[in-house]
Amino acid sequence: MGNSNTMWNPALETMSREYFREYQLNRLQAQIRHAKDNTAFYKEKLSDIQPDKITTMEMVTTIPTTTKSELREAQHMGDGLYGNLLADDTESIISYHQTSGTTGPPIRQSDSLRDWEWWTDCWATVLWAHGVRPDDRVFFPFSYGVFVAFWAAHSAAKRIGAQVIPGGGMSSVQRVEKIADLDPTVVAMTPTYAFRLAEVAEQEGIDLRGSEVAIIICAGEPGASVASTKAALEDLWGAEVYDHAGATEAGAWGFSCSSDDLGLHVNEARFLVEVLGPDDEPVSPGDVGRLVVTPLNRYAQPYVRFELNDRVRLSEKNGCDCGRAYRFVDGGVLGRRDEFKTVNGTLLSPRTVEDIVHGFDTVLNEFHVRIEDHPKKDLDTVSVDVEADQNHDYNNQRIRKQLRKELRRHTHLNFTVNVLQSGTLDRNTLKSNRFSDLRQRRAQYRQ
């Protein structure tokens, strides 16, 4: 079992389940009360909810969930940048961030000093669980921009006492040169960019496996909880790879630990996390559902039962080798609900394709899937583009046949596999968009 040295806040992280529930209910009541009393949005939305009467976890589902579309509408009502979402006076706001806007217009996010302390503590919990300590040197190879994640991680690394190297305003070549020159022990990035930096390092003759990097912290994509992706990254970097999950609205709610199990602990001291089925009731352990998150300590712009739209599977195991009492999500985030596609009656998950492609040592890690209308039949077609590695001919029929066989075995779909020359596919420096749904005739089946 783990010990307190592996935990940022041992008292919270090892709390009994009974006390957790009491603690979370108390915090939830306070959060609802604060949101109703101080935001025009929740004053109307939760008008029929009496916080003091939410006394059991079973009663939580009587509270309406909050959707991103509601937030988009509410931020343009009322006064100021944040509209009807703001729960504090504007003078107390110290930072502005926003969502990426991948599913629609971005949500503006305000944070007060009190909120920023919360963000820092949440991320410190993540970093400490991943092994970051005061003697580490942490490199963030990104221009942070208006996205909150790496600003908060930067703040948390300093809170721990680690040295921070910001990597904005640099090319990928310059970043791998900094890794060779400055000897960071920790690098935080998306899995997509971890692959890209490894590729650039090889081109530049820089040996990442021989560098001082011992920890890779991944965020923004579910790759670090995909077995083949995690293994490939650990082999390329010669470092331990950890996973994290969060969102601008929800916060840094999940993190992997030192155990061998792939997945994420839920930071239950700071978040009430629900996994709901199609009937809007909690799923049983082992079942897949959608994620609904309530940050329990958010002040300037609070959220109650926010629909994150990620799909996860709650673990059936009791306890963890790391010693934490927090619940565990098997395999991390399985994907957003809108990423799952129905193809000829079969549900296709991007993560399944990723796990298969990254498990082949004859192809590189970039790939792209296209779903299209069949030109003659009322059917869908699905294809995947991959790149042969430098040691294999891209005309090699064996690669194509083997990959097609594995895809068929795991997805029950007949893929057309196109093996391309190395460097043909676009490279990304943040997140990869590896799926294109180009169907027109059968648009109703896209999700």
What the block records as the tokens of 309 is: 């739209």
Name the strand (E) or helix (H) holding 18.
helix 17-38
Centre a 10 Å sphere on the Cβ of residue 338 and count the other Cβ atoms it contains: 12
Q: With contact defined as beta carbons under 8 Å apart, do 9 and 329 qualify? A: no
pLDDT in tens, 136-162: 999 999 888 888 988 999 999 999 999
The DSSP code for 253 is E
As a whole number of angstroms, the distance between CA 240 and CA 231 comes to 9
Enumerate residues 6+ apart whose C-beta is below 8 A from 135.
162
Give strand pairing partners of 346.
343
Half-sphere exposure of 94 (CA within 13 A, CB side): 9
Separation in Å, CA 74 to CA 41, 42, 47, 296: 6, 10, 16, 21
From the CA atom positions of the chain, what is the Rg in Å?
Answer: 22
Q: With contact defined as beta carbons under 8 Å apart, do 228 and 359 qualify? A: yes
Separation in Å, CA 8 to CA 13, 15, 96: 8, 13, 27
Q: With contact defined as beta carbons under 8 Å apart, do 437 and 447 qualify? A: no
The DSSP code for 258 is S
Burial 202-223, CB ≥16 within 10 A → b, else e: eeeebebeebebebbbbbbbbb
**pLDDT attached to residue 309:** 85
Burial of 178 (0-12, 13-18, 19+ CB in 10 A): middle
3-class secondary-structure state, position 175? helix
3-class secondary-structure state, position 103? coil
Taking the C-alpha atoms of 111, 114, 116 and 122 in order, what is their torsion angle to the nearest 10 degrees? -120
As a whole number of angstroms, the distance between CA 374 and CA 269 comes to 50
pLDDT in tens, 402-422: 999 999 988 888 999 999 988
**pLDDT attached to residue 353:** 87
Give strand pairing partners of 247.
251
Mean pLDDT by 10 residues, the chain (447 residues): 74 90 95 97 96 94 96 93 93 92 84 96 97 97 88 96 95 96 96 92 95 94 88 95 94 94 94 94 93 96 95 87 93 82 83 86 87 88 89 81 90 90 81 82 53
Domains of the chain: 1-336 (3.40.50.12780), 341-445 (3.30.300.30)
Which residue in 403, 413, 416, 414 sits closest to 359, CA to CA? 403
Which residue in 123, 257, 140 sits closest to 187, CA to CA? 140
Centre a 10 Å sphere on the Cβ of residue 282 and count the other Cβ atoms it contains: 18
**pLDDT attached to residue 2:** 45
Give strand pairing partners of 420.
387
Half-sphere exposure of 107 (CA within 13 A, CB side): 24
As a whole number of angstroms, the distance between CA 102 and CA 108 comes to 14
**pLDDT attached to residue 430:** 67
What the block records as the tokens of 336 is: 């957003």
**pLDDT attached to residue 1:** 38
